[in-house]
Amino acid sequence: MPLYTKLPTTIDEVDIIIAGGGTAGCIVASRLSDADPSLSVLLIERGSNNYELPNITKPAFMFTHVIPGSKTTTFHKGSKEEQLTDREVIVPSGKILGGGSSVNFLMYTRAQRSDFDSWQTPGWSADDMLPYLKKLETYHGSGPKDRHGYEGPVHVSGGTYRVPRSEDDFIAAAKGVGWTELEDAQDLDSNNGVQRAMRYISPDGQRQDVAHTYLHPRLRDGKHPNLHVVVESQVVRILFEKQKATGVEYVSDPDADLQPSPTQVQDSVRRIRARKLVIASCGTFGTPTLLERSGIGNREILNRAGVSDVVAHIPGVGEAYNDHHLMVYSYRSSLAPEETMDALAGGRLDPGELMKNNDKILGWNAMDITCKLRPSEADVASLGPNFQEAWDRDFKTNTNKPLVLMSLINTFPSLPIGLPVGQYLAVSAFSIYPYSRGRLHITGTALSDPINFVTGFFSDPQGIDIKKCVWAYKKQREIVRRMENYRGEVPATHPPFPAESKAACIEIGEPIGPTVVDIEYTPEDDMIIEHWLRENVATAWHSLGTCKMAPLDKMGVVDANLNVHGVKNLKVIDLSIPPLDVAANTNNTAMAIGEKGADICIDELALA
């Protein structure tokens, strides 16, 4: 079937409606259409079609999705938060078919075994989820064969381009700090080491987003006549008859005019009925706000927003917002021009010529190393008694849990404005399992009404989350200082230590060599780091948890079968459902949720 920007008027009722064509939604639509060709499925996506767009399919263009004015990304602005020096933190999410899988940085990392087990939900343990983790992938790397899949739609490989000199340098430097190289950090059990990164890139250099790997093949093979996809359309609300979901109301081209005339509104709004099921798959931001506009959520919040018909009082909707706390630190390097992406970012390489020549660098995301790291007992003790207590309670005996994830990036990972021409490297470091929580809620019933969004970053009362980031800053810096390619810090991306501090940023002409010793940070230096983190901490694009899977009396929104509490014929299948965080870039978890959610639907509808 073709993909529509305007759904034909002849389609006014289908069996299943999926609101949201992101990572999980595309998978669910595809698997359901496979299960029964006679089953009519409608997928409604706010963003545009991504089919064969070079900025989607070519990994090297991934940074285009975060530049101001990007049409493939929604930028959610948080409220001012005192603990973040009154900053309004911006959190992006994908706004294109395929969602985050179309615009993310393509890193293949899986959750740890204890992550899934910590959800304490029947059917969602690590052993339960492993078949879905294997089902989605064709893995081209090393590691235990029984932990990976080799016949799935999503190829996982090293891509077409790597920089072994940089990889070897980082691995050797990490060993000098105490961490060894792991063969496969994504086998659910390996931990506390570094790995040569695998990526959502095919061996021939194509991004492996879910739209291209799951959805587009089915739309074009002539075997799925009842699979319908409409893009540039957004579901405004779910329709109910008493407590039963019966369809949706959606608007075409929601971004065309935020304040259209009443005539335009009337012309663009459509209602579609669902005979069997409605699935909300709009993501961590979109799903809770859709539920609230539809009358599902905390009654007090809904009443304040002007929602007159409360279908189900579910206080957990929009609560428990969870995200990894990210910082990226940049360094000068002695890498050669062909060993970083700086020439492309700085306009010294012509993207058109690279495309014409099918240059191998297009199949690279500049991120060649990934790490899952734990502190030593001495490190833990240095972070204070509150941190020691939290570590002893939540981490010490569970060696499956890392504290921080890091990646080596072979470029300056932002617009190089004001930087001297040269070659740079960077380390992204994000803390996981945050104790802080945020929230997001509607303030009105219209799509144009602002969202009340609070990230909650660094809001935990014991101050553990910021201590994690202090430790991560110091440790990533010690690794890089031991690299042969290290030539000093880029000061704008580091805390502003005074010149007389031993921690002050430097610029050097030669590597420090084997005599390098750890930097000694004073209490004043630590205060500078903490203040810097509050001024600069950002999202890792790993938002989850706003419609968590838990009992209603524990602020849950869905049950183990992803049914929304208190109503019928409505499920949530996306990253809003994890009750606790995962030690991974979250794309893999979102795909596994999509595969698991599809199987649940197939079983309940007796399609298998």
The CA distance from 365 to 105, in Å, is 7
The CA distance from 401 to 154, in Å, is 26
Beta-carbon neighbour count of residue 390 at 10 Å? Answer: 23
Beta-carbon neighbour count of residue 336 at 10 Å? Answer: 12
Residue with tokens 């020691």: 388
DSSP category for residue 213: I
The kind and range of the H/E element at 273 are strand 269-280
The CA distance from 185 to 582, in Å, is 14
Residues annotated as catalytic (active site), given as ranges: 542
In 3D space, the residue among 589, 471, 518 whose CA is nearest the CA of residue 186 turns out to be 589
In 3D space, the residue among 606, 517, 602, 603 whose CA is nearest the CA of residue 30 turns out to be 602
Instruction: List all residues 6 or more positions away from 315 whose beta carbon is below 8 Å from its beta carbon.
Output: 297, 298, 555
CB 577 within 8 A of CB 586: no
The CA distance from 223 to 522, in Å, is 67
Phi, psi for residue 195 in degrees, rounded to 5 = -140, 145
Concatenated DSSP letters for 23-61? HHHHHHHHHHHHH-TTS-EEEE-SSB--TT-HHHH-GGG
CB 412 within 8 A of CB 420: no
CB 594 within 8 A of CB 210: yes
The CA distance from 453 to 464, in Å, is 22
Q: Which CA distances in Å does 71 have to 91, 94, 102, 240, 577?
A: 15, 9, 12, 33, 27
Q: 195-216 burial, b if ≥16 CB within 10 A, otherwise e?
A: bbbbbbbbeebbbbbbbbbbbb
CB 407 within 8 A of CB 369: yes
